[in-house]
Amino acid sequence: MTGTKTTGGTNGKKKMMFFSGRAHPELAQEVALQLGVDVVPTKAFDFANGEIYVRYEESARGADCFVIQSHTAPINQWIMEQLIMIDALKRASAKSITVIVPFYGYARQDKKHRGREPISARLVADLMATAGADRILTVDLHTDQIQGFFDGPVDHLFALPLLADYVGAKVDKGKLTVVSPDAGRVRVADRWCDRLGAPLAIVHKRRDKDVANQVTVHEVVGEVKGRVCVLVDDMIDTGGTIVAAADALFAHGAEDVIVTATHGVLSGPAADRLKNSRVSEFVFTNTLPTPGELSADLDKIKVLSIAPTIASAVREVFEDGSVTSLFDEQ
């Protein structure tokens, strides 16, 4: 394999080049393997004062370039590195630049809840556009409206088929109830219900607006007694919300609880909360690397690879196909 892939005849030849930042190289390697290319060799390092340097070791002139970087911790460093990588490709005369962001940083800051707050998700999109991105490819945005923040094509991929099919093969569907951990996830949970043929329940909660990550669970709407409940969310950060929701389900008679989320952010006290919870299994995708303190608990943590989904989308973009067709069955 080489760092590039070409298609078309002699006159209309297209060249794909695949690049990765340093945030999550394991996922990049998986995607590259699915595409049948290597990650283009890149020299990247930090200066003593924290500034980032990037230089590609192959020419990108005239190539359709794909730059993958997941915004994991330290999130600001990896966002900045991706912006620098985009700028380097623009100045290297790349034909097109597609930015692959498996986990989009600042996605939760997508609107103003109160006065004098930023809309940081929009700022990240503006920064990528200014750096030179022509297209963004991402997975399970916190809210769909973020797609409108970028003035260009946005390919929004979904982990639902991957996660739902795993749960469906593992649990007796006759005993399964899909649970939304809050009102904002009801639409996604409803799609899970359609795919698995399961009923829906909702955990009603209220968040303390003055205390970050502080949640009070109030009640469960729907029948969960004696059922195997699958809590579905887009991300788990500190784990407080989802563990409290699981406790509420057990308090209402749930037989078992499985938690699924596309993005396992797993910050701060998340490791202890997940280990000590009554939840039988946490299922994530590898849009983010699993923290070392949790990777040993493989009996409770299941990580599914999103690489085939990303690779299929990249292939469709490169070949001028339809990314939407990958999810038409939903």
How far is residue 192's CA from residue 190's CA, in Å, rounded to a whole number?
Answer: 5
Q: What is the pairing mode between strands 281-285 and 200-207?
A: unpaired
Q: In this structure, which amino acid lies at residue 97?
A: I
Residues with Cβ within 8 Å of 72's Cβ and at least 6 positions away in sequence, in order, are 23, 24, 78, 103, 265, 288, 289
Query: Any long-range contacts for 39-46 (C-beta under 8 Å, 24+ apart)?
Result: 39/3, 40/3, 40/4, 41/3, 42/85, 44/81
Closest CA to 155 of 101, 105, 192: 101
Question: What sign for the dihedral angle of Cα 82, 62, 30, 140?
Answer: positive
CA distance linking residue 1 with residue 39, whole number of Å: 10
Q: Is 60 left (phi over 0), alpha (psi -120 to 50) or beta?
A: alpha
Q: How far apart are CA 26 and CA 16, in angstroms?
A: 20
**Spatial separation of the C-alpha atoms in residues 227 and 204, rounded to whole Å:** 18
Q: Are strands 64-68 and 154-157 parallel, antiparallel or unpaired?
A: unpaired
Q: Which are the contacts of 99, defined by CB distance < 8 A and separation ≥ 6? A: 67, 69, 82, 86, 128, 133, 135, 136, 137
275 is catalytic: no
Contact of 167 with 230, CB cutoff 8 Å: yes
- Beta-bridge mates of residue 229: 177, 257
| Other residues' Cβ atoms within 10 Å of the Cβ of residue 294 | 20
Find the catalytic residue in 205, 275, 300, 302: 205
Q: Which residues are catalytic?
A: 205
